[in-house]
Structure 1
Amino acid sequence: MATILFSFAGSCIQKLQEIITEEAIQIQHVKQELSDLQQTMMQIQCFLKDVDRRRIEDLAVSNWLGELKDAMYDADNIIDLAWFKGSKLLGEQPSSPSRKLTACNGFPLVSCFSTILTRRDIAVQIKSLNKRIERIAELGTKFKFETEPVASVSDMRKTSHLVEPNIVGKEIIHATGTLVGMVLDHREKKAYKIGIVGTGGVGKTTLAQKLYNDHRVKGSFKKQAWICVSQQYSPVGLLKEILRNVRVNQEQGESVGELQAKLAEAIEGNSFFLVLDDLWESDVWTNLLRIPLDAAAQVTTVATTRHDIVAKAIGVEHMHRVELMSEEVGWELLWRSMNISDEKIVHNLRDTGMEIVQNCGGLPLAIRIMASVLATKKTTEREWRKILSSDAWSMSKLPPELSGALYLSYDQLPPNLKQCFVYLALYPEDWVMHRDDLVRLWIAEGFVEKQDNLLMEDIAEDYYYELISRSLLLPDPLHFDQDRCKLHDLIRQLAHHLSREGCFFGDPRLLEDKNISEVRRLSVVTDKDMVVLASVKKQQLRVRTLINPYTFSIIDVLEIFGSSPT
């Protein structure tokens, strides 16, 4: 929580810096109160950096952080409220000089008293909040937190252009050749299925991509399609995606049966190569695709899955298991991914590098991510030893499937990028995210730190490409300018874990079991135009961001039933 609050405090401080001299604030005479709030939050932020660095997990500190989180959410709200109220007051000012004769400080007499009350109300709220946060800051001193200067994103060394994204291990190269041979040897067979099986992050998708993009495979099939299935797949959505791959238009409101018929017609008499990436259930094949695919003259299907039983259930003729990387191959992947060309440096860093690879547990994903982390450091044994000795490797309370290497990659991000990364938890599994959408949303959320003479959009784009360079965002291979991206499912799981106390993704009906007052960002998974939050008091709502990622729009209607009228 300290990491998230540290970043959030930075956003509030930046917001205060931007609005404190605006006319909308001046008119309410609350500049001094907001300046005091800014100073207190800067002190709090320095405390939070030390809490994050020391990874304190004491119960008293956790309670302190919880109280601080509530206060900072209220601070963010009141900052916006002050700006909104001030802007509204400015809009009510008379433009005619003659009207000012019957006005109080430029306001008509009928609204004079309400204007004064508005100013007083905002000032009282800010003063009360200042006292509250000052008390929390005083409690922080009792924990003997140290204060450190806060670095900005612009102070951090970037990884851009340091990591080569197309480097793969020798096993992948060898396996690609083997599987291409199998596909070509069976292209006369009516139907042929290959299963690529292995644990998460081991390189199944990378191998499938190499196979899919091989020029010999492309030249052997009339039509191809790559589909990410995921755990919460939509039958209609999946069929539509296949049809898009084979360039067939769909109409709104078409049923599963109608889409299956369209697919059968599109591939009838043709050879068809299909990849089903991240398959969790055999029903996708047996109930959805088996019959329409039978219309093809020849169809070869490649399915990647974590589970042998799924591959067997769809009837694969060959099952290729992707094993964990050996330390030697992992070490080569590490230094090649960093584009280290000096043999002397490779030799000098070998022992330390091998220890880092061991900590990655043989997972190519973790090794790649560590290469991205190391690319931000000097290429010396001392710097690598610092990374190796980080206690982020042994971070407690992580889900068992998340390795310390994944958390360390997050831990090494500058504050603003941490917020941008955690924000990605609002998107569904295997969702293709658009760069321009993320840029606009990050700016709107206040995550983007101003830099002299640079447009906010350009700075946010730098954030986007930096997350790609750090292997936390995966560019969509179908778009060469990297304007679309996805999250690996393990990386998405990390984002969900980090955001669990402030974000909610899913069916809003499940919010009955979650304290709505703790939710800051709500991503609604529904095809309904009206979202119902049952048994929620309006005063409890602290949701800052409400989106429906499937339509990428604000919900048309948010109705709160069971609310108190006050």
Structure 2
Amino acid sequence: MVKLRRLVYENNDNNTLIRNNPFIKARKLEIQLLYEELSYLIGSCFKDTAIDEHDLEDVGNWKRRLILATEEAEDTVDMFVSSAIIKNDFTDNDLQLTYQQMIDPTTGDNLLDCSLKGLKDVMDNLKSIREEIMSNNKGNFFQKFVKHDKMMVKKFAATGTSSSRNTAVNVSATQHEELTVGFDDDALLLIDRLTGYRKKLDIISILGMGGLGKTTLATKIFNDSLVKYHFDKRGWILVSQEYSKRDLLLQLLASIGKSFYEAVSESKLCEVLYQSLKKIRYFIVIDDIWSCKAWDDVVACFPDDNNGSRVLVTTRLADVALHASRGGFTHNLRHLNQDQSWELLCRKTFRGYECPESLTEIGKHIARRCQGLPLALVVIAGVLEKGEKRKDLWKKVGESVGSCIINDPKGCLDTLALSYDHLPSHLKKCFLYVGGFPEDCRIRVGGLIKLWMAEGFILDPAQRSMEEEGEYYVMDLIDRNLLIVADKSSNGEVKSCRLHHLLREVCLKKADEENFFKKVSMPTPNRNLDSDVVLNIVKQRRLFTEYEVLCEIYSHGFASHKRSVLCFHDSRLLAFYKITSWVPSFLLLKVLNLLNIPMFKFSNIRMLVHLRYLAVWICSHDTSLSKDNAWSLQTLIVKGTFQRVIYSPDNMVNLRHLWCDRIIVSIGFSVPTISNLQTISRLRLDYRTRFLLETFPGIKKLGCCISSSSTNHGLLSFAMLTHLQALNIDKYRQESLALANPIRFPETLKKLTLKGLCLPWSYMSTIQRLPKLEVLKLLDSSFKGHLWEPGETQFHQLKFLKLEKLDIHVWEASSINFPRLRKLVVTGCGRLMEIPLELGNIYTLEHIETDYSNPHVRDSVNRIQEAQREMGNCDIHVSFTRMQGRSNSS
């Protein structure tokens, strides 16, 4: 819809391909009528009136039809735009020849004529839908779409949550012992908090993903003999996603031995509950709470008589846990480790007997496949317990853990899927998308957000950028325990995340049900797909696959309306004819990731005029990024074996992120400023590009390499980049540098990496004064000189400092210089006499990392740790790195 509106109502001054295209101009009125018809249909479905139960199926059918019609309209218009641009603007003979070969085999029409007929067909279809709906109940169906959604959600929620919740308090002693493997430390910690000295009412939250054992742990605590003895009354209620305040109050009263008729008012129930708990020491468990409102509905019923009463909350949502605890204690429940997982699997499978030695190895593999989730281990143990204890059968179970979970008759996967069902619609798309990545993959947050942007999942926010909004989405999914933090960056931000194996199964199942994406691998050993399989693939709008599948789609002659293709699997170097042959079958792509597939060049990709995200691996000499069809492109990622790439942004005005692992050389261009560009790496700065930095004032991350010419012309002033947060400066090739002027940095800088510049240590005074600097990496002769003496100047916000391959002998520093330092890394500094011992007195310091190359540095690190331990500080972690990234820690 956004693209239709732009075609109709905006001048497209920045896009000469559309502005000057005679074919698009001639059809602008038709596109306007189509846009208005579609807008009317979509807008009308959001009127809010009552809906009868018997209308649900009809309304659902109309809604599905309207969604399909919207997708068809978008595809048809985009295909028309593609064909019009290719026919009118591309002068490349190979591209024109390819275009001329794109003929409908049934009608003999070319691509442009086909798309023109498609515009008419779409319009006729929309009119037909309007007429049919208007003739049915005088158009009241328009007013029922939203109510249909609300009723379906309510209907689903009425089925409740996992059946295991209903008997949580009445677990027998035998079951209780088996189900709580790995929870002993958690239980002791929480019981100590519950029965401790605090007199005020204390609210404690247990937070964790579905199936992690929150209710099981709460049950263990609830039935503990000390807890029973300590509290005068205990109560337990189950909340779940859909609830009523009245039901909660009645449940609470019943759990403490009080019963009332439902006819009693809510205010009366509150009063009775409050008085029943008054002046006694009580313990209430509120299990499976999904909203802050649910907590607010009951919290007023809990009196605080300064007698040590407690309320324990279990939830999957971090914001609910924090809201309920009111600054109190939140316990994040961890996944079981490998030993605990194996212990639980054995207990449930063998019921007290030992596991045969022949099954131990494969059994531990099965336990690892459950990734520390108790619910999964219990389900798999049930499968193993009922089957024969044979190694070959267990091996099959180990290869199909996900299938076993999906087929669990108790609905294990449905329990996990409740978290998905509770998501708002925009987060559902984002979460499902993660399921397309390879299993156990560490997904870089920045790259994931760029993909979400290209797919249109991130709503355009008013107060922040789309990237910042995407970061909010990621943290929301983490706080809901749907994504797991895999790595953090040097300043503590989430760098990468991963998806639990079973939640990935939820994604795959939901994606299949909703036709959201398709994962396809080439079959072995013949490596061919039959036409029926290919036809099914063609119908999917998003495809996670191997490169050979794209060639198969083309070889079967299918024209695909696919919007996204992501190939994560490594492929061999492919012949040129295969590289470009499939492109005409995918003209509507918005996302194309071929980063693991080496190619000679990507000329035919120029035909993909709707691309927003492009990641490619080019094996050739110098490559030009001057794509004359790239007006939609937001993210461009290029890696390869070439010497350099040539970048001209005249027709890349919407580009936000440009990353390359080789040198980027910019040539002259006419655009005065590039307001959207936020990331560029590795840009060469020299005398020919002395005014280049002024053209992208909004840039936030910049990687650049400098030469002697750039230093002589005073190009190293970055002060005008007032939004810059991360800067990486490297030396170009092996040139020797002599800076004529000092480097000037903006005060907004948070991360700074310097490499190969051979700066005198006196330059450090400029860096020390940066007020927001959190990360500083000094690499490979970035500074030259035997002595670094920072004086009394502070790095006010510095959290991470790395010194690598520096020719430094003496480093004189104290805790005053680095008041907020958390991590220090010193590697490859072979002449450094010691790390200053006073750095151990930095109260925020958590980790020191070094290598084995310098015994003086290693000894000083050990002395720092020993001195701190003698003073009772055992929080400083020390690690010694080895070759290939291995480390020993203490």
* Alignment TM-score, normalising by the size of structure 1: 0.45
Q: Max radius of gyration: which structure? A: 2
Larger fraction in strand: 2
- Select the structure with the greater relative contact order (CA < 8 A; seq sep ≥ 6): 1
Q: Please give the TM-score of this superposition, normalised by the length of structure 2.
A: 0.30
